[in-house]
Amino acid sequence: MADSTWQWDETLYAGSARHYSVGRWPYAPAIAEAIRTALGLDGTGRLLDVGCGPGSLTLLLAPLFETAVGVDADRDMLTEAQRRADEAGVTTVEWRHLRAEELPADLGTFRVATFAQSYHWMDRPLVARRVRDMLAPDGAWVHVSANTHQGVAGDDPLPYPRPPWLRIDELVARYLGPVRRAGQGSLPTGTPGGEAEIMLAAGFAGPTRLTVEQGTVLQRSVDEVTSAVFSLSSSAPHLFGDRLPAFEADLRELLTSAARDGLFAERPRDVGLVIWRP
């Protein structure tokens, strides 16, 4: 990790799972099409989505494969993933409560392994080696680099005000302190980089890089932005302890005063796809 004192623990996203469906916008269908085209997918093979959270990417990509497995270390995230799968009528996905470091866990061989907003929380060299051994010879690792809670900053005109993200960050810092929180620890210098060196050292070849536009301007409510804040590891509900009601009241007051007719607008950020071959 960027901060060698940080240790993963089960509280990282405690209380956040139920906020994902409300506070984070879905991945655009164009992402599935870009992956299908780049990898020549034809509906065969298996997908492994590591750090799948509530299944946002897993369920989008599942139709491109015979079956899929979503792996996550947070049980509440998997409960939410199963709820969303049931709601969508998806029956080809299996959800497994595992840390990525516990792979391969007798899960077998996969055509594609995906990591979306998750790899930085793992022992990356170890996970890279283990997942590489789980891929078919013609398989691929796809890193999805995205931000689905906060749009592009700017002063270009939108139909409603942008959420006041700088003031939201200041409010979080007033309650939790200036150093970014993460589970029971903190990340004073943020999450780590250097992925390319790790992947090459693990024996991968590449990468191929693609950019996918997320789509048009989104309209967002006070409830949605509130949930977006609680969907983050740095402001997960458990971090506030008995001050959670006070924080949420202050957050909602801030958002209500900044919104127009209770609404905001944001322009989603583009999504980066980084493809590695075993």
Structure tokens at 216: 């048009």
- Structure pTM? 0.92
Helix (H, G, I), strand (E, B) or coil at 261: coil
- Per-run averaged pLDDT (10 residues), the chain, 278 residues: 58 91 93 97 97 96 98 96 96 97 97 92 92 97 94 93 98 95 73 86 96 91 98 96 98 98 96 97
Structure tokens at 259: 């919104």
CB 147 within 8 A of CB 228: no
Q: What is the pLDDT of residue 6?
A: 59
CB 273 within 8 A of CB 38: yes
Q: What is the pLDDT of residue 189?
A: 64
CA distance 261 to 259: 6
**H helices present in 53-147, as ranges:** 56-61, 75-88, 124-132
CB 161 within 8 A of CB 238: no
**CB under 8 Å to 263, separation ≥6 — which residues?**
160, 219, 220, 221
Partners of 142 in the beta sheet? 114, 275
Between the CA of residue 275 and those of 162, 202, 205, what are the distances in Å?
33, 14, 9
Q: For residue 92, what is the DSSP state? A: S
CA distance 234 to 246: 17
Q: What is the pLDDT of residue 216?
A: 87
CA 79 to chain centroid, in Å, comes to 16
Q: What is the pLDDT of residue 194?
A: 85
Structure tokens at 107: 């899960």
Amino acid occupying residue 6: W
Q: What is the pLDDT of residue 2?
A: 38
